[in-house]
Amino acid sequence: MYDKAAWLWHPIVELLGYSRTYRGLFTELANDGWLMCLPDNAKILDGGIGTGAFSLALAKRLAGAAEIHGIDIAPRMLARARDNFRRLGRSNLTAQLRHGNTDCLPYVKDDFDLVMSAHMLEHSANPSETIREMVRVLRVGAPLLIVTTRADQISAWHGMRWRYRAVESQQLRQWLLQAGLGDVQSYALRRGLNLPGPLSDAYIGRKINR
């Protein structure tokens, strides 16, 4: 279903305000010091990268070089993401995109300076295992950032259309802590008149053990 929607997906994401909201989130995270740990030529993983909207929003926030890795189960989404990164025209930013499942990431342990995903976890058949995998490939002290759909009546209706199930906030926090994160904080995405704001929350924490 998502593969069929791939070539219209990115314009719709832009129109609905997701990219603008993501940029606002990264500005807020930077102001709170969450991005200070990123070294020059940071290695970043975007799980369930889709057409690249989340990574592109981060790229516009970063001045230095970065190496973005993305994984997704929809090949046409990945093709669109490659095209979007080419259009970005950043010589100091490389994108390496792979077809695969976030439940079993093809990366070594402690490999990334930042692992993130936006609106992917609610599609996972085993979200707690997906979180453990994302934490596994994250280096100690580095942040994991997850944007997920808020569990309410609006998301329940929307989830029937796009076949996902929102995760309760308390349950998500428990999974993050169990996976080895500390200092877990949440950010509301309610910014202006757009769809992602009322539907979404962001969670971020640092890996504290191996």
CATH number of residue 51's parent domain: 3.40.50.150
pLDDT band at 10 (very low <50, low <70, confident <90, very high): confident
H or E segment to which residue 135 belongs = helix 127-136
Give CA–CA dist 210/76, Å, rounded: 35
Whether 93 is covered by a domain: the verdict is yes
Query: Does position 166 have pLDDT exceeding 90, yes or no?
Result: no
In a domain? residue 64: yes
- Residues 20 and 53: their CA atoms lie apart, in Å, by 10
Is pLDDT of 164 > 50? yes
Confidence of residue 37 (pLDDT cuts 50, 70, 90): confident
What is the total count of domains within the chain? 1
- Cα–Cα distances in angstroms (integers) from residue 96 to residues 60, 65, 85, 203, in the given order: 17, 14, 10, 25
Contacts of 136 (CB under 8 A, 6+ apart): 105, 109
State the Cα–Cα distance between residues 20 and 15, nearest whole angstrom: 9
119-151: pLDDT as tens digits: 889 888 899 999 999 999 999 999 999 999 876
Of 210, 22, 192, nearest in space to 117 by CA: 22
- How many residues in the chain? 210
* The two three-digit tokens of residue 29, written as one number: 């995270």
In a domain, 149, yes or no: yes
- Whether 160 maps to a domain, the answer reads yes
User: pLDDT tens digits, residue range 39-79?
Assistant: 989 999 999 999 999 999 999 888 889 999 999 999 999 99
Question: Which residue range is the domain that position 27 belongs to?
Answer: 6-207
Contact status, residue 86 vs residue 113, Cβ threshold 8 Å: no
Task: Say whether pLDDT at 158 is over 70.
Answer: no
Amino acid present at 34: W
What DSSP line would sit under 74-113, residue for residue? Answer: -HHHHHHHHHHHHHH--TTEEEEEEE--TTS-SS-TT-BS
Q: How far apart are CA 197 and CA 50, in angstroms?
A: 19
Does residue 133 lie within any of the structural domains? yes
1 domain residue, yes or no: no
Cα–Cα distance, 126 to 124 (Å, whole number): 5
Q: Which residues contact 55 (CB under 8 A, 6 or more apart)?
A: 44, 46, 49, 68, 70, 81, 85, 95
Q: Is residue 41 part of a domain?
A: yes
In a domain, residue 162? The reply is yes
Q: CA gyration radius for the chain?
A: 16
